[in-house]
Amino acid sequence: MDTTTEAPSKGQKCLAFLKKNAVVCIALLAAIVTSFLVPVDKAYLGYFDYKTLTCLFCVLAVVCALKNIHFFYMLARKVVQLFKTARMSVLALVYITFIGSMLIANDMALLTFLPLGYFVLTTTGKQKYMAFTFIMQNIAANLGGMLTPFGNPQNLYLYTKYEIPNLEFMGIMAPPFVLSVTLITICCLLFVKPEPLQLSDEKIVLDPKRTVLYLALFTLSIVIVFRGIPYWIGLIVIPATLLIVDRKALKMVDYGLLFTFVFFFIFAGNMARIDAVRDLFSALLGKSTLLFSVLSCQCISNVPSAILLSQFTTNYADLLVGVNIGGVGTLISSLASLITFREYVKHNPGKTGYYIGMFSLFNFAFLIILTGFMFLLKLF
């Protein structure tokens, strides 16, 4: 019997590429289309936020280096081993993702900790909590990153564009952040039973020199984000160091995300120069920046919403809140949600409909509660 498999055609390869890079392809298409409406000129150079792109690249590169030495995996595994029940272990996994999103950005937190969640639940026979755990990790990643400027890509952009003071930034985001922690905790306590659970031992030894070096580079990245050091220093020091000690980390950087920013900068810049669009968006944002930014995220995702809407409003407080809590809701409201969906379907191909149903139920519940809470807060 002939067991050879037919090689994929060029059309299949192209389709697979488009599926894998759908967001960046859409961003490129949007940039090209608007370039016909606003011909390329010198003003294009002013579209790009070079500091945001540099900070994002530096953080992503260092996080990839730390991931290569299993730093985050080891840290998360130690935390989970401290707990002896399914309820507390799931809560620990979700909290790790929540805290991780504040430090290494939401996308990287999910790519790092979703596999750990899968490993913990499958090795302990608790697969029944897989969909719930993945959904809570996804919500935690989207909402946990809201407190820090580098927790979500849109935060980094808005923080830089509007030059928001550090304490003011955290003050704006503190109320929805606290409510998010409370809601996530309640969900984990209600929907996961305190069943006994034990994780097997596994020895992981970190390279002490690399660990210290990468943590130093990570600290440098954070100092740059908080405007302590000019961003061009990081653009020189971090890639040069990684070229010597870990070239693989530079190859692993999510360049698709970086190019998504570049293309949406072009799209947003062009849209802002079209009078009819500027008048329409300015009017809508004038009525309710918070509501319009939340709704925009449900249609075009939170990163492009932040870049686009920032061209038409100076109300950065409501915009910042809107594009953060707007990250929950539909599957396309955040890049992180698509990452989680892809990971779940990879392990559970026959349960796509079940996952989408549960995902929508929890996400829209969080979205309605958080949006309602922020509107009530504005009244008082």
- The share of the chain scoring above pLDDT 70, in percent, equals 94
pLDDT, position 4: 52
Of the ranges 17-21, 25-29, 118-122, 233-237, which one carries the lowest mean pLDDT score? 17-21
In a domain, 80, yes or no: yes
In a domain, 1, yes or no: no
Residue 327 in this model has a pLDDT that exceeds 70:
yes
Residue 78 in this model has a pLDDT that exceeds 80:
no
For 96-113, what is each residue's pLDDT tens digit? 899 888 877 777 788 778
Higher pLDDT, 183 or 270: 183
Beta bridge mates, 85: 196
Residue 18 in this model has a pLDDT that exceeds 80:
no
pLDDT, position 324: 95
* Among candidate residues 154, 182, 191, 185, the one with its CA nearest the CA of residue 169: 154
Instruction: Give the pLDDT mean for 361-377.
Output: 96
Beta bridge mates, 196: 85
pLDDT, position 168: 95
In a domain, 22, yes or no: no
Residue 5 in this model has a pLDDT that exceeds 60:
no
pLDDT, position 249: 92
pLDDT, position 361: 97
Compute the C-alpha angle 98/375/135, nearest 5°. Answer: 30
Instruction: Give the mean pLDDT of the chain.
Output: 86
Residue 180 in this model has a pLDDT that exceeds 90:
yes
Residue 3 in this model has a pLDDT that exceeds 60:
no
pLDDT band at 20 (very low <50, low <70, confident <90, very high): low
pLDDT, position 131: 94
In a domain, 330, yes or no: yes
pLDDT band at 261 (very low <50, low <70, confident <90, very high): confident
In a domain, 152, yes or no: yes
pLDDT, position 109: 81
Residue 199 in this model has a pLDDT that exceeds 70:
no
pLDDT, position 7: 64
pLDDT, position 372: 96
Instruction: Give the pLDDT mean for 224-236.
Output: 84
Decide: 242 and 250 in contact? Cβ < 8 Å: yes
Decide: 244 and 210 in contact? Cβ < 8 Å: no
Residue 2 in this model has a pLDDT that exceeds 60:
no
In a domain, 358, yes or no: yes
Residue 244 in this model has a pLDDT that exceeds 80:
yes
Note down the domain range covering 178. Answer: 70-205+254-379
Q: Which residues are CB-neighbours of 186 under 8 A, at least 6 positions away?
A: none
- The share of the chain scoring above pLDDT 90, in percent, equals 37
Report how far apart the first and last C-alpha atoms of the chain are (Å, whole number). Answer: 75
In a domain, 238, yes or no: no
Higher pLDDT, 198 or 328: 328
Q: How many domains does the chain have?
A: 1
* Among candidate residues 137, 126, 128, the one with its CA nearest the CA of residue 76: 137
* Among candidate residues 251, 249, 257, 264, the one with its CA nearest the CA of residue 21: 257
In a domain, 53, yes or no: no
Decide: 124 and 198 in contact? Cβ < 8 Å: yes
